[in-house]
Structure 1
Amino acid sequence: MLRGCGTRFLRNLNNFSGAYSQQCRHMQLKTEYDAVVIGAGHNGLIAAAYLQKAGLNVCVLERRHVIGGAAVTEEIVPGFKFSRASYLLSLMRPQIMNDLELKKYGLKIYFRNPSSYTPLAEPSGLDGKARSLTLGRDSQENARQISQFSKTDAERFVEYEEQLERIVSALDPLLDSPPVSMSALTGSSLREKWSSLGSVKALLSSVRSLGKDVPAFYELMTAPAQKILDRWFESEPLKATLATDSVIGAMASPQHPGSGYVLLHHVMGELDGMKGAWAYVEGGMGGVSKAIANCAQDHGASIFCDKPVSYVDVENNKVRGVVLADGTEIKTSTVLSNATAKVTYLDLLPKGSLPKETVEEVSHLDYTSPVTKINVAVDRIPNFKADPNVKENEPMPHHQCTIHLNCEDSQLIHDAYLDAQQGKITKTPMIEMVIPSTLDPTLCAPGKHVVLLFTQFTPYKLAQGEWDDANRNKYADVVFDTIERYAPGFKDSVIGRDILTPPDLEKTFGLTGGNIFHGSMSLDQLYFSRPTPGLASYKCPVSGLYLCGSGSHPGGGVMGAPGRLAASTALADL
């Protein structure tokens, strides 16, 4: 795997310690670069790699002690490596995987099969004995599993998946092209019109490819996911399991208009040519960032940790450089920000740099988040009542996939959403549990396991009190009590836990509002309106400043497209 790699890459790969700051200390920060990237999240690193490969001298400045942004691995409990924020890989664009040779630079993934497991607290189904619903890549097994609850649903599920796959395939070109610029199309400059031609072709190609699925696509963009699922299916365990994808990371209920698009966004992925496949990354999600950084550094880019940027220096509406929190000035004419639009345009730019209408647009972006991430170290594999372990502490197939709890009925999801809207700590949290150590032996010692809990719905502000340690632990205890109902003995297996509420996600990772997508993935904040209609070209009104994070098109997830497209835009301008 390492044959043919440069010596710099070999040195970086061998010396990588997870914290990355050891390498950063050995680099010399210069006073001038061709381009500076603010933030070493995966999109920022991808932007840096493309710019460096194009011949620019690039510097990446990360405020934390570790690279990766939300795609990071951290050892919070000694001996246990957590994917502390994002926890699965699927959306990374194939072109980026190939262009940056991420496998050559150390990326290794573990595919999961089955992919989804929903245990039931009480038996149900057509015979009253069904205990769980498991879905994967085997269509015949899927049919058998769904038939426990509905013979009709088992038949329709294949048709439902085929329609989603057709729509995803039709939209694929849009993920690799900048959004169509309305101002460019209507502007007087022939150069602007010509520059938007590729985006127009991609849009027309997608519309043409949708064909008979145009009505279904329109419905997905505008209708509640619940309405769509109710029309397709009748069994609640299946509908609720599918409905979770419609609200992941969104402060929305499946009963809300537009929640169908979030569902669509989460089936857009592809890994090694496998559509819709999700996988664990060896060593945790920091392995993705590590591979991208290895590529960028092997081509000559410099990456520095513990270097928070105070502000972007602007003169005559042009970028002059950046100033670090310690007062260090770095000259450059090109800055790409991997921060959110709010942080980039309202916090890092000096007041008065932007037109009043732009400030107002950015000020009203929706960053509402329902997510609390809980990372848990346990001394044995959970034992689910619905499918008891055959051998003590030996993982079974359902342990390797996404485990949905409190998902027997879609109403449970809606009820948890309503609690969050009132600022309450819900008693019925929606929980997605993954146990990556069932496939990746590098995360902890044999016999022990890393359990990652992606939970909803938690408000940013509580109606009573603050998100202090007492309330963090109060909510975590509710989550653990829920797991205990499905897997007795879980609480006794816990060695340690790390709780990240929406304010914690904001403080730790710079995610405004705790939103994992750098802003809502609602229809009003997508495509040529992401993050706003006036900023959808990755460019800022200040010449030389670009937004390369998930707040720009095509949005959130460990996708990489915003980083590549922003770098491409900057290179075209240069």
Structure 2
Amino acid sequence: MKRYDAIVIGAGHNGLTNAAYLARAGLDVLVVEKNDYIGGAAVTRELHEGWHYSSCSYVCSMMRQAIHRDLDLSRHGLLLVPYLGTVAFGDNGETLIDYPDEEASYLELKRHSPHDADAMSRFQADLGRYAQLIRKTLLRTPPDPASFKPRDIGELLWLAREFWKLGEKELYEYIRFFTMSAADFLEDYFENDLVKAAMASPGIIGTALGVESPGSAYILLHHVMGDVDGNVGAWGLARGGMGAISHAIASALREAGGEIRTGAGVERILVKDGATIGVVLENGDELYADIVVSNLDAKRTFTRLLAPEDVPPRILERARNFKIRGSSGKVNIALSGLPRFTGLPDNPYINRGGQGFVGSLETMERAYDAWKRGTWSEDPFIESVIPSAWDPTVAPAGKHWMSNFIQYCPPELADGPWTPEKRDAFGQTVVNKIERYAPGFKDLIVHMEVRTPHEIENEIGLTQGNIFQGELTIDQLLFNRPFPGYGQYRMPLKNFWMCGSSTHPGGGVSSACGANAAREILRDLKKPNIVPEDDCYDE
């Protein structure tokens, strides 16, 4: 029976990135995927004839440009384009437009608040400064603060130097920032309710925190430290949908000699004498390898794929307590035409951008309260984008596809399990809210796909539908991710690694987790380091 150098579990973008680098280093690599398609949450599927949905992840910013260049993903068909402008809708139909032109955006802010128009540059400068520091850590392995190894000591000293560069005042503010709520942080800058709500929205995306929850300010930062084409903080869309990212990485992997096997779900990870030796597939096949790499989340990996007797009791307890609460839903809608939103000029830049149905900070917090009670709000926060306004490959000519991301949606309901009827009722709530801002929207609907955390977990394998594979709170960052003492991708079993978003630097379509894990694997195997350790834009 053939024995591989490495088996990677899960063909999400991080698993594919990890495998691509291992294959480029000369290893015989197999990626096994339970679904009959690749990509995990970064996937595009034709779920209605002619319409291609990015059914989970829908926009791209976190993708590390160093990895994009290193794997030559453009040659493998990947094209990322910044989307232009966004509009935030308030509770009473008021609008705040973020134009791609700086002067136009300033005048729009001034229309709402001259104070906030002037404060925006200070806010963006402060947030950008904080983001730059974190960006420098994304393609670096976190140091182990309890280690006396020269490499860990050197990395800790590097971190200390980078923090000190902020200056004394900024350092105090940065430490304060990590413990703040998004709402409190924004109060330091803005006075207008709609401006604050629009700026707060990234702080709740994908997380089980509200805008008033301590720690949500960092989530805001996590969503603005990416870039598209070197434009830091920009968001982009992949031509052909998010699946184009996964397929480009898969193409680089196959070019390097790697193998991908779909329809090959893993039932169990094989362990012998404290070391992983392979996997057992759901169909009973046994596959063997020198190393095993899991791209699944930490809870699923340690509590479902490994036998309890094979896991150190302390780690098993940490895996069971790993915070991975689902809080998001997704509604993908095929449309017969482009919706027309009230109170907006007929501007193609707006259609090519996003729509944030933010309401107000109070509306967002009430939606979070509903989630805590085990239901969804009748007035949810919705972040929408219509990729077909610029990408003709995702919908038939003259038709459109609208992606809607919803906060909050509980993984478990107070009145019992999710059913198709409850799922559809949740989807109708989303449609009803959009209709308030775009009369006639319901008449444009051709097809809908509604995803609650229940569907996301069952199909994609994300525990509780958590899109980050674990919450991005301060206790689960850097060397604490996924567990203290195991933040360097090596797990407590020999020859066993993790490369998914449960590891540093966390969620988002960045490929950083997969690349960082590959670097550490190659280092242990005494192979040349072929994985980038920084982005040139940060030098």
- Indicate the TM-score class for this superposition, using the shorter chain for normalisation: over 0.9
Q: Unpaired runs of 5+ in structure 2?
A: 526-539
1:91-102 aligned within 5 A: 91-102=62-73
Q: Distance in 2 between matches of 1:150 and 1:215?
A: 29
Aligned to 1:319, the other structure's residue is in SS state strand
In 2, are the aligned partners of 1:120 and 1:386 still within 8 Å (CA)?
no
Quote the residue 2:536 is aligned against. Answer: none
Q: Distance in 2 between matches of 1:202 and 1:556?
A: 24
Q: Distance in 1 between matches of 2:239 and 2:258?
A: 24
Quote the residue 1:355 is aligned against. Answer: 312
User: Residue 78 in 1 paired to residue 28 in 2?
Assistant: no
TM norm structure 1: 0.89
User: Residue 254 in 1 paired to residue 206 in 2?
Assistant: no
In 2, are the aligned partners of 1:307 and 1:324 still within 8 Å (CA)?
yes
User: Residue 547 in 1 paired to residue 503 in 2?
Assistant: no
Quote the residue 2:535 is aligned against. Answer: none
Q: Distance in 2 between matches of 1:198 and 1:138?
A: 43
In 2, are the aligned partners of 1:240 and 1:408 still within 8 Å (CA)?
yes
Q: Which of 421, 437, 440 is the matching residue for 2:372?
A: 421
Quote the residue 1:477 is aligned against. Answer: 428
Aligned to 2:130, the other structure's residue is in SS state helix
Q: CA deviation at 1:287?
A: 0.2
Q: Which of 126, 148, 154 is the matching residue for 1:163?
A: 126
Q: Unpaired runs of 5+ in structure 1?
A: 1-29, 124-130, 186-192
Quote the residue 1:463 is aligned against. Answer: 414
Aligned to 2:147, the other structure's residue is in SS state helix
In 2, are the aligned partners of 1:109 and 1:280 still within 8 Å (CA)?
yes
Quote the residue 1:147 is aligned against. Answer: 110
Quote the residue 2:530 is aligned against. Answer: none
Deviations along 1:256-305, one digit per CA (max 9) or x if unpaired, are 10100000000010121110111110110000000000001001001111
In 1, are the aligned partners of 2:99 and 2:349 still within 8 Å (CA)?
no
Aligned to 1:145, the other structure's residue is in SS state helix
Aligned to 1:36, the other structure's residue is in SS state strand
Aligned to 2:134, the other structure's residue is in SS state helix
In 2, are the aligned partners of 1:174 and 1:206 still within 8 Å (CA)?
no
Q: Which of 410, 435, 445 is the matching residue for 1:494?
A: 445
Q: Distance in 1 between matches of 2:409 and 2:259?
A: 38
Aligned to 1:320, the other structure's residue is in SS state strand
TM norm structure 2: 0.95
In 1, are the aligned partners of 2:359 and 2:381 still within 8 Å (CA)?
no
Q: CA deviation at 1:61?
A: 0.5
Deviates more, 1:88-97 or 1:132-141: 132-141
Question: Aligned partner of 2:181: which letter?
Answer: P
1:390-405 aligned within 5 A: 390=346, 396-405=348-357
Shift of the 88–205 alpha-carbon distance from structure 1 to 2, 3 Å rule, reads farther
Q: Distance in 2 between matches of 1:535 and 1:513?
A: 23
Question: Aligned partner of 1:252: which letter?
Answer: L
Q: Which of 279, 282, 305 is the matching residue for 2:239?
A: 282
In 1, are the aligned partners of 2:13 and 2:245 still within 8 Å (CA)?
yes
User: Residue 346 in 1 paired to residue 310 in 2?
Assistant: no
Q: CA deviation at 1:201?
A: 4.8
Aligned to 1:427, the other structure's residue is in SS state coil
Quote the residue 2:223 is aligned against. Answer: 266
Deviations along 1:23-69, one digit per CA (max 9) or x if unpaired, are xxxxxxx7311011000000000000110111111111011010001
Aligned to 2:396, the other structure's residue is in SS state coil
Q: CA deviation at 1:502?
A: 0.8
Q: CA deviation at 1:396?
A: 2.4
Deviations along 1:295-320, one digit per CA (max 9) or x if unpaired, are 01001001111011111111111121
Aligned to 2:448, the other structure's residue is in SS state strand
Deviations along 1:472-500, one digit per CA (max 9) or x if unpaired, are 11111111111001000111110111111
Q: Distance in 1 between matches of 2:325 and 2:269?
A: 26
Aligned residues: 524
Deviations along 1:193-247, one digit per CA (max 9) or x if unpaired, are 1342553354234313322421232122101111111121000111001111111
Q: CA deviation at 1:184?
A: 2.1
Q: CA deviation at 1:359?
A: 0.6
Quote the residue 2:175 is aligned against. Answer: 218
Of the two structures, which has the highest relative contact order with CA contacts closer than 8 Å and spacing of 6 or more?
2
1:511-526 aligned within 5 A: 511-526=462-477
Aligned to 2:455, the other structure's residue is in SS state helix
Aligned to 1:533, the other structure's residue is in SS state coil
Quote the residue 2:165 is aligned against. Answer: 209
Shift of the 295–258 alpha-carbon distance from structure 1 to 2, 3 Å rule, reads same
In 2, are the aligned partners of 1:71 and 1:289 still within 8 Å (CA)?
yes
Q: Percent identity?
A: 36
Q: Distance in 2 between matches of 1:172 and 1:118?
A: 27
Q: Distance in 2 between matches of 1:108 and 1:55?
A: 28
